[in-house]
Amino acid sequence: MSVPTVLVLPLPAQGHVNPMMIFSQRLAENGCNVIFVNTEFIHKKVLSSMGNQEGGGVNGESPIKLVSIPDGLGPDADRNNLWEVSDSLMKNMPAMLEKLIEDLRLKDGIIVSCVVADSAMAGALKIASKIGIKGVVFYPASAAMLALQCSIPKLIDDGIINSNGLPNTQKTFQLSASFPHMDTGSIWWAKGVDSVLGNVMFNNIVHAMQTLELTEWWLCNSTPDLEPQALSYVPKLLPIGPLLRRYDDNQGVTERSLGQFLEEDLSCINWLDQQPHTSVIYVAFGSLTHFDKKQFTEVALGLELTNRPFLWVVRQDSNCNPHEFKGNQGKIVKWASQQKVLSHPAIACFVSHCGWNSTIEGLSNGVPFLCWPCFGDQFFNKTYICDELKVGLGFDLDENELISREEIKVKVDKVLSDENIRSNAHVLKEKMLNNIKDGGRSRENLNKNYNTDQIIGQDGCCSNCASFTMPCSRTCQPNDDLVSKIG
Ligand SMILES: O=c1ccn([C@@H]2O[C@H](COP(=O)(O)OP(=O)(O)O[C@H]3O[C@H](CO)[C@@H](O)[C@H](O)[C@H]3O)[C@@H](O)[C@H]2O)c(=O)[nH]1
């Protein structure tokens, strides 16, 4: 049987590329070749972060081949403006993807048997359906946020949002009797963005939700014990998390990522090795958050006030100069190997914006959280971490709408002295990790009996063309079939 080739297509954002790359690495371990498609802009960044050594590809040593498509924007466009990029991709990506699949076949002899599309790139499912190959959707945020998206018609009927997706009033609601309470601040597409942008995002979501129906295979980076209510609310959503780099008890995280946009500063691992166990405050706000100068200063002074060692990620694009504040106890890096950092025994707590990947990574390492949500889904993730899972605390704003240096010190002291939080975090860590051990539920979802087999093909679905729509016997010439479909 020939090795199946899966094409993986993330939205060009770090919080989407990272989990889809880890998923790709697991697919490769399960015997698939993977074509991982970034936009040209992101592809260059990824190659540069790896010192321009891609390391193989389908026809080389590695089963993961990194390729790129244009994003459809002009040469002068601001490619850090994710909304502009997404809008252009919605319009232009399907045709470019179809061309890529055809070029792979004609130029490289590679037959793509399945497309795994980020939910924000749902247009790819139409292409998969058009050319008769399988489509799988990957949702990069929490299952709860997908449950919320699935409930849009109900939210409108119940008067919680208007037909533009914006909350009618501030109120709490439940998606079902067992679902955690949400408030209108949990409606991620309307949180932290202006109403015009919120409306554009809402229309894109509604459109994407219709397209997701083209496939039965919905995957997410979560676990059955982490989000039982949301997963039973969206029964076809299969959790395959926590999606983590390979870990070794002695060496920590050993697996290399093929998806980082910035080079990882590994000097922080040596620095962590010098710190006492459970002593360091790790501070990182993902790939998109920006602070104004005043808030940035409060963070810096608050960290100094704690009088504890800290490791702080300050991205180069943050427009703030951290060196004025470093003090004696802190280490500041432009980009860390976050998973390596969180699994280091020196880490005591995680000051986080609560992006879903950071949430999953912190929970999987049993690290208590100090939650600082900034936009979108991060507000619900914060509530979930603090009120449902009880593994963290939130910060309160002062009268100037800032999180003050004193507040930072008070909450750091409080979270580090809270035995319940620490013990809840340890229990949850074990539960999360059990899902990816032999026999674990996410592992089962990923192994041959579930998705990988669906991707490779089973029961009458051809193991080569893997077509949903056109089951063929295992003795047929499936590649010819696919060739004729594409041709
Ligand atoms: O120094 C760093 C900082 C971060 N990371 C990684 O970058 C990713 C960041 O992802 P996430 O925590 O989800 O944050 P964002 O980059 O902000 O992600 C966006 O996408 C997520 C998934 O949809 C949403 O949950 C977030 O709200 C949204 O901001 C994680 O895998 C981190 O491990 C590093 O490797 N090094």
How distant is the alpha carbon of residue 126 from its chain centre? 23
Q: How far is it, in rounded angstroms, from Cα 8 to Cα 188?
A: 25
Would you say residue 483 has pLDDT above 50? no
| CB of 454 sitting under 6 A from ligand 1 | no
| CB of 285 sitting under 6 A from ligand 1 | no
Question: Which CATH number describes the domain made up of 5-239?
Answer: 3.40.50.2000
Substitution site in 338, 341, 342 for ligand 1 pocket (most atoms within 8 Å of beta carbon): 338
Q: Whose CA is nearest to atom 24 of ligand 1?
A: 355
Would you say residue 58 has pLDDT above 70? no
| CB of 461 sitting under 6 A from ligand 1 | no
Q: What is the pLDDT of residues 60-115, one digit of tens each?
A: 567 899 999 999 999 999 998 888 899 899 999 999 999 999 999 999 999 999 99
What is the rounded average pLDDT of the residues 439-453? Answer: 71
Rounded to the nearest angstrom, the distance between the alpha carbon of 286 and the centre of ligand 1 is 4
Q: How far is it, in rounded angstroms, from Cα 430 to Cα 108?
A: 44
Would you say residue 56 has pLDDT above 60? no
Ligand 1 atom showing the smallest separation from residue 357 Cα: 13
Confidence of residue 461 (pLDDT cuts 50, 70, 90): very low
| CB of 141 sitting under 6 A from ligand 1 | yes
Q: How far is it, in rounded angstroms, from Cα 315 to Cα 395?
A: 22
Q: Whose CA is nearest to atom 27 of ligand 1?
A: 355
Q: What is the ipTM of this complex?
A: 1.00
pLDDT at 55: 52
How distant is the alpha carbon of residue 61 from its chain centre? 27
| CB of 288 sitting under 6 A from ligand 1 | yes
Would you say residue 210 has pLDDT above 80? yes
Strands (E), 10-142: 33-39, 64-69, 112-118, 134-139
Domain with CATH 3.40.50.2000 in the chain: 5-239, 263-417
Average pLDDT, the chain: 88
52: tokens are: 């321009």
| CB of 393 sitting under 6 A from ligand 1 | no
Is-above-0.80 flag for pTM? yes
Q: Domain 263-417 is classified in which CATH homologous superfamily?
A: Glycogen Phosphorylase B; (3.40.50.2000)
Q: How far is it, in rounded angstroms, from Cα 66 to Cα 68?
A: 7
Confidence of residue 314 (pLDDT cuts 50, 70, 90): very high
Q: What is the pLDDT of residues 116-169, one digit of tens each?
A: 999 999 999 999 999 999 999 999 999 999 999 999 999 999 999 999 999 999
Give the list of residues 6+ apart from residue 110 with CB closer than 8 angstroms, or none. 5, 33, 35, 58, 104
Q: How far is it, in rounded angstroms, from Cα 375 to Cα 402?
A: 15
pLDDT at 10: 98
